[in-house]
């Protein structure tokens, strides 16, 4: 039934010299970013073990490098909003991958560290994570991968 009975009408043709054809969804950077991200997440979900999500993994890996670390700082380092990192940390703590404790020096703060299970989960999955990035970028040459990284950093 799709479009079978009705010819598409470019309603804004003639308006201000810019036709509707000038704006194609498939060419918009937002659309391209969303699609690329979705495919990456799908690859991640299908290959990562222990039902870890992309953001849970990011939090674990970053915490391993920064620990001990405050929750707000971990959120900053992993590009997550304060409400988002709260939820991610809660779920990781619930799975006993992360330990939380009050900061003796500053009662406002929550101090995060990886548990032994958390450290082990990171160790076990580093090569998997590497393979995930590899699969996401499989269609690109090494030079193209470097270029993509540079261009994405430029627009972030």
Partner DNA sequence: CTGAAATCATTTGTATACAAATAAAGAAAC
Partner DNA sequence: GTTTCTTTATTTGTATACAAATGATTTCAG
Q: How far is the CB of 19 from DNA (least distance, A)?
A: 26
When CB distances are held under 5 to 8 angstroms depending on the partner's kind, the choice from a copy of itself, DNA, none that residue 115 binds is none
Measured between alpha carbons, how far is residue 132 from residues 125, 138, 154 in Å? 10, 10, 23
User: Are the C-beta atoms of residues 133 and 36 closer than 8 Å to each other?
Assistant: no
Q: Which residue has the tokens 């598409």?
A: 8
- DSSP letter for each residue of 78-117: TT--HHHHHHHHHHHHHTTSEEEEEETTEEEEEEEEE-HH
Binding flag, residue 71, DNA (CB under 7 A): yes
Please list every residue from 18 through 77 that binds a copy of itself, using CB under 8 A: 18, 20, 22-23, 25, 27-41, 44, 54, 58, 61-62, 64-70, 73, 77
Residue from 2, 17, 83, 107 in contact with a copy of itself (CB under 8 A) = 2
User: Cβ of residue 141: shortest distance to DNA, in angstroms?
Assistant: 26
Query: Based on C-alpha coordinates, what's the Rg of the chain?
Result: 22
CB of 93 to a copy of itself, least distance (A): 19
| Positions in 95-134 near DNA (CB under 7 A) | 103, 106-111
């Amino acid at each position: 039934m799709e479009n079978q009975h009705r010819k598409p009408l470019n309603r804004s043709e003639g308006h201000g010299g810019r036709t509707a054809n000038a704006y194609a969804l498939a060419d918009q950077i937002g659309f391209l970013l969303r699609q690329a991200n979705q495919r990456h997440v799908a690859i991640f979900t299908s290959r990562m073990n222990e039902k870890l999500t992309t953001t849970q993994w990011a939090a674990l890996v970053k915490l391993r490098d920064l620990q001990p670390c405050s929750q707000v700082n971990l959120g900053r380092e992993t590009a997550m909003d304060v409400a988002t990192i709260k939820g991610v940390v809660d779920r990781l703590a619930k799975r006993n991958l992360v330990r939380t404790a009050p900061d003796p020096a500053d009662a406002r703060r929550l101090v995060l560290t990886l548990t032994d299970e958390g450290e082990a989960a990171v160790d076990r999955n580093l090569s998997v994570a590497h393979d995930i990035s590899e699969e996401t970028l499989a269609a690109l040459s090494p030079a193209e991968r470097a270029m993509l990284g540079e261009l994405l950093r430029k627009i972030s």
